[in-house]
Amino acid sequence: MKSFDVPVQYRSPLINAIKARRKADDKMKKDFSPVALEIGSLTVLLARHFGFCYGVENAIEIAFRALQENPGRRIFLLSEMIHNPGVNADLQALGIRFIMDTKGKMLIDWDDITSHDVVIIPAFGTTLETEQLLRDKGIDPARYETTCPFVEKVWSRAGKTGDEGYTIVVHGKPGHEETRATFSHSRAHTPTVVVRDMEQAILLGRYICHELPDDGFYSGFEGQFSDGFDVSRDLQRIGVVNQTTMLATETQAIADYLKRKMLAYYNTPEDKAWERVADTRDTLCYATNDNQSAVLGMLQQQADIAIVVGGYNSSNTSHLVELCEAQLPAYFIKDEHCLLSAREIIHYDLHSHTERTTAGYLPVGRPVRVMLTSGASCPDALVERVIMRLALLTGNPDYINGVRSSWE
């Protein structure tokens, strides 16, 4: 796989050495067990896969190249490059400005953007409408486009499947940049509807089987279907694709559920399932799958707590938190500064959507075992700093050099 020129401040010699050794020992990526870092009385169980993925490193390389190639010019990002506050802050400190926020709210008026400006497309991609708007302004959206290749793969599959006569069902968060982009690209080919979770998929299944009046669909899925969508016409053949950062098992469960509903309602045998449901399993992102599988492998071990590092608005990171908190206390933090002390931690609560402070998160008076992973937009250097902070708070800073020397 291609290597990228990513700024050194995002790298970690320790984490890089650990990942390199694991890769050499497990080329086929079949071992999802964690690495156990013994740091005195602290054991850190480090997930097999975590951190920057191919698409994120590609986006960062292009963004920094845009800065180098355009001295003196105004440089804009459509929205956050990736969902990591540190990386986005670095780009802003270098002069890059965001045109809109992650929900699509304008921060800079389009009238202020001219053909002399540079505009970078973020890793999530963008809509066809925005691409055309940039062209109309004399800006080539492809010049500094950082759209993840795996997101583009979903667009390609959605387009091909739509051209074959299927309606596309997108499993994603309706307000997320990537979902908005995928929805735009898909609806250019075929009727498209977004489902955010299994609950909405079950509701969609009831409309597929005409168990509910069609009129209810338009209010229940408001803002989530393409123009001219006809429930009675457009739900007879479907293909499910995903926002690449969603929980892979949930996407597959949604696809399986809708397939069962379709085949049962239309009395279609399994060997002719293609008549009603397209096979779109290959739209699941490898990094999302690997990181989630690594968490499941990590959860086979025993630990006191889990810590997941990443941006609070990172979809893929939030799903790692969900997996962890199903089995043990899990804390979603944005950086090492959230570890206030051995007693208090600042973390993001997925359920209340608020940052909170929790006391007594670490056991006292005995050895501590901590599971640790991070999202696909989190720098390895940040993960190392969390390890160092945990070592300090548990009274084990003197053991760090030994851990480093055993890997580097």
**Chain segment 15-42, per-residue pLDDT in tens:** 999 999 999 999 998 999 999 999 999 9
Residue 101 lies in a domain: yes
Residue 254: domain span: 149-284
Closest CA to 240 of 286, 208, 272, 287: 208
Q: Are 291 and 391 found together in one domain?
A: yes
Q: Which pLDDT score is estimated for 120?
A: 96
Q: Which pLDDT score is estimated for 1?
A: 63
Strand pairing class (42-46; 35-39): antiparallel
Q: Are 277 and 327 found together in one domain?
A: no
Residue 379 lies in a domain: yes
Q: Are 12 and 125 found together in one domain?
A: no
The residue with tokens 């964690």 is 34
Closest CA to 82 of 385, 374, 389: 374
The two tokens of residue 237 are 């053949």
Q: Which of the residues in the chain have pLDDT under 70?
A: 1, 282
CA-to-CA separations, 153 to 92, 100, 102, 245, 284, in angstroms, rounded = 29, 25, 22, 14, 9
Show Cβ contacts of residue 14 under 8 Å, excluding neighbours closer than 6 positions.
384, 387, 403, 404, 407, 408
Give me the number of domains the chain comprises. Answer: 3
CA distance 263 to 276: 7
Closest CA to 316 of 156, 19, 63, 83: 83
Residue 31 lies in a domain: yes
Q: Are 293 and 280 found together in one domain?
A: no
Query: Do the beta carbons of residue 45 and residue 277 sit within 8 Å?
Result: no
The two tokens of residue 77 are 């990002």
Strand pairing class (192-195; 118-120): unpaired
CA distance 65 to 342: 41
Residue 44 lies in a domain: yes
- Last residue in a domain, options 236, 263, 284: 284
The two tokens of residue 152 are 């583009």
Q: Are 173 and 222 found together in one domain?
A: yes
The 8-class DSSP code of residue 374 comes to E
Q: Are 274 and 298 found together in one domain?
A: no
CATH of the domain at 66: 3.40.50.11270
Residue 388 lies in a domain: yes
Provide the 3-class DSSP secondary structure of residue 57: helix
Query: Do the beta carbons of residue 198 and residue 254 sit within 8 Å?
Result: yes
Residue 3 lies in a domain: no
Residue 1 lies in a domain: no
Catalytic-role residue among 57, 80, 131, 178: 178
- Last residue in a domain, options 136, 170, 187: 136
Q: Are 375 and 340 found together in one domain?
A: yes
**Radius of gyration for the alpha carbons in the chain, expressed in angstroms and rounded:** 23
Residue 143 lies in a domain: no
CATH of the domain at 374: 3.40.1010.20
Q: Which pLDDT score is estimated for 104?
A: 86
Determine whether 152 is an active site residue: no
Q: Are 32 and 61 found together in one domain?
A: no
Q: Are 92 and 132 found together in one domain?
A: yes
Q: Are 231 and 155 found together in one domain?
A: yes
- Last residue in a domain, options 234, 249, 284: 284
The two tokens of residue 208 are 């597929």
Q: Are 83 and 166 found together in one domain?
A: no
CA-to-CA separations, 333 to 183, 206, 348, 389, in angstroms, rounded = 30, 39, 6, 13
Q: State pLDDT tens for residues 33-74.
A: 999 999 999 999 999 999 999 999 999 999 999 999 999 999
Residue 36: exposed, middle, or buried by beta-carbon count in 10 A (0-12, 13-18, 19+)?
exposed
The residue with tokens 């501590």 is 368
Closest CA to 372 of 76, 50, 22: 50
Q: Which pLDDT score is estimated for 249?
A: 86
Closest CA to 7 of 47, 73, 39, 52: 52
Q: Where are the beta strands (DSSP E) in 86-245?
A: 97-98, 118-120, 167-171, 192-195, 238-242
Angle between helices 128-136 and 177-187 (to 10 degrees): 90
Q: Are 275 and 293 found together in one domain?
A: no
Amino acid in the structure at residue 140 = D
Query: Do the beta carbons of residue 78 and residue 121 sit within 8 Å?
Result: yes
